[in-house]
Amino acid sequence: MPADYTVMNMSGIYESQDFYLGANVNFLDMTDIAGTNCYCDEKAKGEIRRRLAASEAYQTPVHFLDSGNYHYLSLFYLEEIEEDFELLLLDNHPDLQAPSFGEVTSCGGWVREALCRLPRLRRVYVYGIEDILLREIAQKEPIDPRIILLRSWQALDDEGKPQKESTESPGNFDARRDSWQLVVEEDARGYLAADPEGGTGRQDSGEKKEREKNRSGRKQSPLPLYISLDKDLLCPGDAFCNWSQGVTRTAEVEELLDFCYANRRVLGLDICGEISVLEQSLGDDIGAQTRNNELNAKLAKSG
């Protein structure tokens, strides 16, 4: 029987958490693989693929990927999908950066690489990002038309005006303390509801889906969905991450995940956004380890 979920221990961060202890888990220790932090070289890719294939990783419905430095690991699961599909990205960052050198795989550009390299990927829904980060990318190259922005936000200065620079450095912005506003807020459920004639998720909810379709006035997709969640979209305090964090609350994410599983055929869910090993030890005084461990325990039950 396949494990309930896979834990990819890249940095050692999961060794100080216990949410997976006693569970039916596929734990992969990859701390010995060089060339993986933020960027992944070809040798590391080969070894990661070998270990994934030798384990139950591709059969488990949920995958924990370590910190956001390793968000590119989503690619290893996406490239195994053998049918047309859509991606829901829940993240404070769009991860659409062009590579700085060569065609190296990176945590900041893996979504762009997926769109370029995976013909089965038909659409990417983006939810929770800091708006200015997407605009900065759009200044360098056109945004791929397959990307649909569902929700974005921006920080406000002391005068209540939009800030002209991003809040990318961790700690520069805290949604509990600082002012912000939504820039884009689409009807996410209207976009993510399945076509009544297509595949559905956990339950037969044709009447509910028809209501969603009528309410949104949009054509829903019959394609299956893969979900990639970076916890840095969450408000500080809901999670503790090593990248700048957004404004979304945990309850919002849980409700959206429940909706997707109820209305779509979900091919998989991956989760990243841990704090770094060093930052976790420094953050014990604010409950970082306890909060992240509790959140992971809850997310492990998704799917």
- Please choose, from the candidates 163, 169, 164, 156, the residue with its C-alpha nearest in 3D space to the C-alpha of residue 93: 169
pLDDT in tens, the chain (303 residues): 789 999 999 999 999 899 999 999 999 999 999 999 999 999 999 999 999 999 999 999 999 999 999 999 999 999 999 999 999 999 999 999 998 777 799 999 999 999 999 999 999 999 999 999 999 999 999 999 999 999 999 999 989 999 888 877 666 789 999 999 999 999 999 999 977 555 445 444 444 444 344 444 455 688 999 999 999 999 999 999 989 999 999 999 999 999 999 999 999 999 999 998 776 655 555 678 889 999 999 999 986
Q: Give the angle 222-223-226 at the CA atoms, nearest 5°.
A: 140
Query: Which residues, including other chains, have CB under 8 Å from residue 281's CB and lie 6 or more apart?
Result: none
Torsion angle of alpha carbons 61, 28, 96, 156, nearest 10°? 90
- Cβ-contact 215, 148 below 8 angstroms: no
- Look-up: residue for tokens 């005068």? 159
pTM of this structure: 0.91
Q: Determine the pLDDT at residue 18.
A: 95
Q: Determine the pLDDT at residue 231.
A: 97
CA gap 251, 203 in Å, rounded: 21
Q: Give the angle 154-157-159 at the CA atoms, nearest 5°.
A: 125
Pairing of strands 121-130, 147-155: parallel
CA gap 294, 230 in Å, rounded: 16
Which tokens hold the place of 151?
A: 């929700």
